Amino acid sequence: MSEPGSDLPPVALTIAGLDPSGGAGVIADIRAFVAFGCFPTAAISSITFQNTAGVFGFSHQSAETVRAQVLPILEDLKVASVKTGMLPTREVIAEVARLFRETNLPSPVVDPVLRSTSGATLIDDDARETLVLELFPLARVVTPNVYEAEHLTGLKILDEGTMRQAAEKIRDSGARAVLIKGGHLNIQEAVDMLDEGGRVTTFRGKRVAGAQIHGAGCTLSAAIVACLANGMELDESIRQSKEFVYKLISRAQFTENGVRILI
């Protein structure tokens, strides 16, 4: 007879915001988890009012509510890998960091969501410092896009050289590893750069022309979580995740608002 839970696939957890349109946030994360054979679990940090074209408001959850969502999961399931996404307030970030310090949760993939693709700010000003001070040092890897990396470092990222500088600066703030997602760079290739303990690896891929995609960054980070849950090393997780997202972007479809979403 098998031990209880032994037949479950790897359990992946996302702690992030809810995008009701499904393009980003926990719904996008869950889709990526399932695609890689993981059992998905989720805790919602904020309920946003949005579609693919924009964010029209939100209802942030309290730190207590976020904690109350996570603890029952840990009592019932062994979580193999975790992602944090939109953590909107200082209190929520501090509570999430406390969960990682006080429980057996593995080191998370921290996606520092600062604003939506449409430009809406998704985190309080005083929360960003808490994110860096309390959560970055606990992370397996931090995965900012170019915009987020610029705001975290004060650098203007234009090319691979400035990506490297930004990654090093974020790692110096306490992060174990940093992946700069370069999809917003105006260059021919889709370039992401990993700085893991000072060892820099550049991941190159084809760029889909004109592909401004809602939720691609969320999906990439979630795919990395799923690959880690399946026992892959970080660099291989990133390679597999980039291939996965490229395939999704290649067949992305337009919404009524003219925004492309991953299908």
Q: How far is residue 134 from each of residues 59, 100, 256, measured CA to CA in Å?
A: 23, 10, 40
pTM of the model: 0.94
> What pLDDT does residue 28 have?
97
pLDDT digits (tens, 9 = 90+) for 91-145: 999 999 999 999 999 999 999 998 776 666 778 778 999 999 999 999 999 999 9
Structure token digits, residue 184: 């917003």
Residue 255 pLDDT > 60: yes
Query: In this structure, what are the phi and psi dihedrals at residue 253, rounded to the nearest 5 degrees?
Result: -120, 155
Beta bridge partners of residue 46, listed in sequence order = 17, 60
Question: Residue 191 phi/psi, 5° resolution?
Answer: -115, 125
**Domain spans of the chain, in order of start:** 11-146+212-261
Fold of the domain spanning 11-146+212-261: UDP-N-acetylmuramoyl-L-alanine:D-glutamate ligase (3.40.1190)
The whole-angstrom separation of Cα 105 and Cα 99 is: 8
Rounded distance, CA 73 to CA 179, Å? 28
Rounded to an integer, what distance in angstroms lies between the CA atom of residue 245 and that of residue 53?
20
Distance (Å, whole) CA 34 – CA 10: 10
3-state secondary structure 199-238: EEEEEEECCCCCCCEECHHHHHHHHHHHHHHCCCCHHHHH
Cα dihedral value 129, 71, 115, 190, nearest 10: 100
pLDDT in tens, 149-201: 999 999 999 999 999 999 999 999 999 999 999 876 767 788 999 999 999 99
